[in-house]
C-alpha cells in the first residue's frame, strides 16, 4: 500500500465506525470551548467535563471571569491539574479578550496564539470546532496513531500535523481529527493495547514498535 492508499483506508474505516463525531468537551460557545480546551491540557476530557459546570456557573464569559480572582479560579479547577498556570491563563486571556477583542474569541490563529496559555493545538481546536475553519489539532492520540500507522515518523507533533495535513483532504480535517481521537481511545490506546482489536494497525501499521 502507498501512503495515500493507507490514508484512504483510514478515512474509510473511521467513517464507517464514527459517522457522528460529537465534540468531547462540553461547551456552549467559543469562549467556553476555549476555556475547556485550555483545561484539558494533561487531563482527560471526562474530568474537564465534571469541572467546567462548576466554573461556568460562576463565570461563562470573560466579563464575569475577571470578577473572580486567580485564586478563586484556581480553587475551582484544581482537580484538572496544573491549576496555577491554567488559572492565570484563564484570567489573563479573559482580560485580553475584553481589552482587545470586545469580549469575543477571535477567529484567528494569530490572535488566539497570542493569548496566555493558548498554544497552537488549543487554537486549532477552537478554530476547527467553534468556527469550522479547517485545522488538524494533534493530541497524544493522533500523534501516537499516526506513528503506529506508519503515516508519520513520530518525532514531534509539529511534523505529525504536517504529515496529516499532507495526507488527508482539507475538507475532512475537522471531522477526521475527532474520529482518530475516538478510535485511539477505543481501539488503539497507549496502555492496554489489544492489537487484535486494532483493525487499522493490523492492516497498515508499522510492524516494529
Residue-wise pLDDT for 102-131, tens only, equals 999 999 999 999 999 999 999 999 999 999
- Report which DSSP code applies to 137: -
CATH 1.10.10.10 fits 3-21+136-204, yes or no: no
Decide if 184 contacts 141 (C-beta within 8 A). Answer: yes
State residue 154's pLDDT score: 84
- Among all chains, which residue has been given the C-alpha cell 498554544? 119
A 10 A CB-CB count for 143 gives 21
State residue 208's pLDDT score: 54
Total-model pTM? 0.93
State residue 136's pLDDT score: 98
State how far the Cα of 4 lies from the Cα of 138, in Å rounded to an integer: 19
Q: Which of 88, 31, 29, 107 is nearest to 63 (CA)?
A: 31
Q: Which of 129, 126, 86 is nearest to 106 (CA)?
A: 126
Decide if 128 contacts 134 (C-beta within 8 A). Answer: yes
DSSP per-residue codes, 81-115: S-HHHHHHHHHHHHHHHHHHHTT---S-HHHHHTS
Cell of 92: 489573563
Cα diameter, the chain = 57
The whole-chain average pLDDT of the chain stands at 96
State residue 209's pLDDT score: 47
Q: Which of 136, 150, 141, 139 is nearest to 187 (CA)?
A: 141
State residue 91's pLDDT score: 98
Per CATH, 3-21+136-204 and 30-129 having the same topology is answered no
State how far the Cα of 91 lies from the Cα of 73, in Å rounded to an integer: 8
A 10 A CB-CB count for 128 gives 20
Which residue ranges make up each domain of the chain? 3-21+136-204, 30-129
Question: Which residue numbers in the chain have pLDDT < 50?
Answer: 209
Q: Which of 126, 130, 164 is nearest to 146 (CA)?
A: 164
CATH 3.40.50.2000 fits 30-129, yes or no: no
Which residues are designated catalytic?
121, 139
Reported as type and span, the H/E element at residue 16 is: helix 3-17
The CA R_g of the chain, rounded to the nearest whole Å, is 18
State residue 10's pLDDT score: 98
Amino acid at each position: 500500500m502507498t501512503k495515500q492508499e493507507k490514508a484512504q483506508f483510514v478515512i474509510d474505516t473511521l467513517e464507517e465506525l464514527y459517522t457522528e463525531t460529537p465534540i468531547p468537551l462540553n461547551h456552549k460557545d467559543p469562549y467556553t470551548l476555549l476555556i475547556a480546551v485550555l483545561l484539558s491540557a494533561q487531563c482527560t476530557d471526562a474530568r474537564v467535563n465534571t469541572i467546567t459546570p462548576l466554573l461556568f456557573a460562576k463565570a461563562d464569559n470573560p466579563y464575569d471571569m475577571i470578577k473572580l480572582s486567580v485564586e478563586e479560579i484556581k480553587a475551582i479547577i484544581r482537580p484538572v491539574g496544573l491549576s496555577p498556570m491554567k488559572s492565570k491563563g484563564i484570567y489573563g486571556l479573559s482580560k485580553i479578550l475584553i481589552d482587545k477583542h470586545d469580549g469575543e474569541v477571535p477567529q484567528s490563529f494569530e490572535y488566539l496564539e497570542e493569548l496566555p496559555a493558548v498554544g497552537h493545538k488549543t487554537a486549532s481546536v477552537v478554530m476547527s470546532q467553534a468556527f469550522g475553519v479547517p485545522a488538524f489539532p494533534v493530541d497524544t492520540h493522533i500523534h501516537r496513531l499516526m506513528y503506529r500507522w506508519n503515516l508519520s515518523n513520530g518525532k514531534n507533533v509539529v511534523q505529525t500535523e504536517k504529515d496529516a495535513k499532507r495526507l488527508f483532504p482539507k475538507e475532512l480535517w475537522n471531522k477526521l481529527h475527532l474520529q482518530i481521537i475516538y478510535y485511539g481511545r477505543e481501539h488503539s490506546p497507549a496502555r492496554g493495547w489489544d492489537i487484535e482489536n486494532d483493525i487499522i494497525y493490523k492492516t497498515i501499521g508499522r510492524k516494529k514498535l
